[in-house]
Amino acid sequence: MKLVAWISLVGISLAGLALANAAHAADKIARTPDGKPDLNGIWQTMGSAHWNLEPHNAAAGPVTALGALGAIPGGLGVVEGGRIPYKPEAAKQRADNKANWLERDPLVKCYLPGVPRATYLPHPFQIVQEPNTMLITYEFAGADRIVYMNRPGSRAQVDSWMGYNLGRWEGDTLVIDVTGQMPDSWLDSAGNFHGPNLQVQERYTPAGVNVLLYQATITDPDVFTRPWKISMPLYRRLDKNMQLLDFKCVEFVEELLYGKYRKGAAQ
Amino acid sequence: MRTLLAIGVIAALGVPAHATEPAKPSAKKYVVPRTESGQPDLRGVWNYGSDTPFERPAQYKDREFLTPEEAAAISKQIRDRSAQLEAGDAGTPIDPTGGYNQFWMDYFGQGANLRTSLVIDPPDGRMPPVQPGVKVENGGLGPDTNGTLPVRFRVGGINKDGPESRGLSERCLMGYSSGPPFVPSLYNNIVQIFQTGTHAVIMTEMIHDARIVPLDGRPPLDPALTQWSGDSRGRWEGDTLVVETRNFTDKTTSFRGAGAGKDLHLTERFTRVGPNRVDYQFTIDDPKTYTKPFTALIPMVRADGDLYEYACHEGNYGLPNILSGARQDEHEATAKQGGTPK
């Protein structure tokens, strides 16, 4: 009970902050002809959440040859309350994942990142906003997801790496419920993971012309003791003629994945 | 085997598609609906499948169109043959490796084309010859192709020495037929078009390629930047969306099996011609590969359904199995000759 009260308190204070930001920004943000916030554009996070969602110190990277260029920056953490509420057995799994990071992290293999990890990778993504459909397309691995704005209550026909995405507007906040994700994706490069029953609710709230507040609530009763939240700003990429470029990383991992099967390779 | 047979049959038929909707404009001019930003509305999911041959079969000579009766008869023949093949597949271990059987096939005409070929220019419906000395390697589902690195074709391979000996689709780098330009193939001829005031996105389901097309008149990319699907810029000419694409890599062909795409200038035109139809026209202009430009027209019809996720690389057990199988064969051959297997 105490825990629940604490969560709702955090929830309310954060929602209050978001609303205050939104109210402040409401008269300044771009809008589509139907009056919704215009989220079209290229966005990117800053920070090191992709390395580890929880607070973490800077550390040497795994590739000796890259030296300081390959070192991992520290991060304040983006999890509300600081820690991910793992069930005891799941906490062991996370530690085991972390100990076997490079062998297990699906992004090392250039797999589609899933949601929310796609959002805070150190690559831009583009929102393409139609009234009934949105496309969010990510530079990393050319991942993309189609968000349906007009079919509440429908369900995924089949699991996928980028999930089944149902969107709706709550005031000026775009809310996307993501279900039907493959169990194989991770949440960061620190071994944080989920199971097959993951549900993610994302909230994109304008906090100015060039900033969105991104929040995601992560629910998976198989893995976590309660739903938990991450939040971070998304910044508009203002570079002149900004566009997403190829990052079709499959080619970059062929030696890693298939080199051992090459003719003449040591078996 | 059955898969190969089926494909062989289609190639042997080599006959054009049926149609129920004449390609000629009707007397009453169609008014193209507009998006909220006032652009012609091309949004939605479209099927570009076709059983019209890409090039005009010799038997039609100068004839550009079939009669609706001829087209319907040919279409029925193709569908009947497909149903026959699919019935033959039922309950048989047609392909223990899990390859494509007839169930997958979706090469039927979409009721929109009376033409005898998809190529509309040159007027003979045939692609122009390639320039002398241009490498042409088509690959295919059968035995390996006798070819050289780099492998730019999509399906098959030149040997099994390493990943780069295989076609780009076996490596999950490009789709079989998703282009650009996209062309009808045996299955998955599905594209979704998205539009905002400033951008269009052409997203083929195959290989989940979302090609983003800025419409804001910005300059092309620096020539040092090359991309698998090129770099696209779009504009409106009347009700037609015109997309010009350059900056292709040296890693794909110019078109089909010919040449290299790095100097390709691709122009695509999307025109809504009815409530449920968009005409897709593309021109291949690459003087390094082809002796002159050529243009194809592919009618697309609205598809009733969603795009699904085509996660090719994530499930690519085929490529490591092909390579490790070849190593195992080598190992066994060495052992049989009394050598010391390594």
Contact A130 B194 (CB under 8 A): yes
Nearest 5°: CA angle at B109, between B104 and B115? 145
pLDDT value of position A22 = 52
Pairing relationship of beta strands A144-148 and A164-170 according to DSSP bridges: parallel
What whole-number percentage of chain B has pLDDT above 70? 87
pLDDT value of position B16 = 35
Question: Predicted confidence band at B60 (pLDDT cuts at 50, 70, 90)?
Answer: very high
- Note whether B314 contacts A: Cβ–Cβ < 8 A: yes
Model confidence pLDDT, tens digit, residues A149-199: 999 999 999 999 999 999 999 999 999 999 999 999 999 999 999 999 999
Across A78-87, A128-137, B99-108, B214-223, least confident range:
B99-108
Ranges of beta strands (E only) in B132-222 are 190-195, 199-204, 209-214
CA distance A15 to A170: 12
Q: How far is B173 from chain A (nearest CA, A)?
A: 7
The values of phi and psi at residue B195, to 5°, are -140, 135
State the average pLDDT for chain A. Answer: 92
Q: Which of residues 44-73 of A touch B (CB under 8 A)?
A: none
pLDDT, average across residues A114-132 = 98
Contact A157 B194 (CB under 8 A): no
Say which residues have a Cβ less than 8 Å from residue B287's Cβ, sequence separation at least 6: B131, B263
pLDDT value of position B108 = 78
Nearest to A263 among B161, B210, B229 (CB): B161
Given a cut of 50, whether residue A1 has pLDDT beyond it is no
Pairing relationship of beta strands A228-236 and A211-219 according to DSSP bridges: antiparallel
Model confidence pLDDT, tens digit, residues A68-95: 999 999 999 999 999 999 999 999 999 9
Given a cut of 70, whether residue B47 has pLDDT beyond it is yes
The values of phi and psi at residue B27, to 5°, are -60, -40
Given a cut of 80, whether residue B170 has pLDDT beyond it is yes
Residue A198 identity: L
Q: Which of residues 151-180 of B touch A (CB under 8 A)?
A: 160-164, 171-173
Nearest to B309 among A131, A162, A243 (CB): A162
pLDDT value of position B27 = 60
Contact B320 A130 (CB under 8 A): no
Tokens encoding B220 = 């092309």
Q: Which of residues 13-42 of B touch A (CB under 8 A)?
A: 35-37
B290 forms beta bridges with B130
Tell me which CATH code domain A2-56+74-256 carries: 2.40.128.20
Domain ranges of chain A: 2-56+74-256
The pTM score is 0.90
pLDDT value of position B275 = 96
CB-based contact B52:B17 (threshold 8 Å):
yes
Given a cut of 90, whether residue B4 has pLDDT beyond it is no
Model confidence pLDDT, tens digit, residues B274-287: 999 999 999 999 99
- Note whether A239 contacts B: Cβ–Cβ < 8 A: no
The number of CA neighbours under 13 Å toward the Cβ of B109 is 29
Contact A258 B161 (CB under 8 A): no
Model confidence pLDDT, tens digit, residues B61-92: 999 999 999 988 888 888 888 888 877 776 66
pLDDT, average across residues B98-127 = 85
CB-based contact A54:A84 (threshold 8 Å):
yes
pLDDT value of position B90 = 65
Model confidence pLDDT, tens digit, residues B321-330: 999 999 999 9
Contact A261 B323 (CB under 8 A): yes
CA distance A177 to A109: 27
CA distance A37 to B322: 50
Across A15-19, A56-60, A198-202, A209-213, least confident range:
A15-19
Contact B323 A241 (CB under 8 A): no
Q: How far is B229 from chain A (nearest CA, A)?
A: 9
CA dist B216 → A50, B197, B201, B229, B241 (Å): 33, 9, 13, 20, 13
Task: Count the helices and strands in chain B (H runs, E runs).
Answer: 3, 10
A240 forms beta bridges with none
Model confidence pLDDT, tens digit, residues B223-237: 999 999 999 999 999
State the average pLDDT for chain B. Answer: 88
Contact B162 A262 (CB under 8 A): yes
- Enter the ipTM: 0.90
Q: DSSP letter string over A87-147?
A: -HHHHHHHHHHHHTHHHH-TTTTT----TTGGGGSSS-EEEEE-SSEEEEEESGGG-EEEE
What whole-number percentage of chain A has pLDDT above 90? 88
Contact B36 A267 (CB under 8 A): no
